[in-house]
Amino acid sequence: MDLALCLTLCLTAFTLILASREPQCSNFNFQEKLLEKAIRTELKMESIEASIDRVTSTTETEIKEIKGKK
């Protein structure tokens, strides 16, 4: 009876330890998520760059108009 109880406790402890582990991402999943984030970052940077170009163009045009009025 002691052996059965010991095996049951050990099996229960082993099961609890395995069940409590966090899921591990495979290397492929990690690389895929990293690539997706890099692409999103690149798209955001392109949008920011376009916005900066518009502001620069508008500012240069306004400066030329101000200089032309003087």
Whether residue 5 is contained in a domain is answered as no
Q: Is residue 35 part of a domain?
A: yes
Q: Which long-range contacts (CB under 8 A, 24 or more apart) does 30-38 make?
A: none
Q: What average pLDDT does the structure give for the chain? A: 86
What's the half-sphere exposure (Cβ side, CA atoms, 13 Å) at 17? 6
pLDDT in tens, 6-40: 778 877 887 777 666 666 678 888 899 999 999 99
Does some domain include residue 70? yes
**Structural domain total, the chain:** 1
Model confidence pTM above 0.75: no
Domain presence at residue 53? yes
Q: Band the pLDDT of 69: cuts 50, 70, 90.
A: confident
In a domain, 23, yes or no: no
What's the rounded Cα separation, in Å, for the pair 56 and 48? 12
In which domain, by residue range, is 49 found?
31-70
Q: How far apart are CA 57 and CA 41, in angstroms?
A: 24
Q: Is residue 58 part of a domain?
A: yes
pLDDT score for 48: 96
Could you identify the residue written with the tokens 């760059």?
49
Residue 26 pLDDT: 82
Within a domain: 11: no
Please report the pLDDT score of residue 52 as a whole number.
96
Judge whether 22 lies within some domain: no
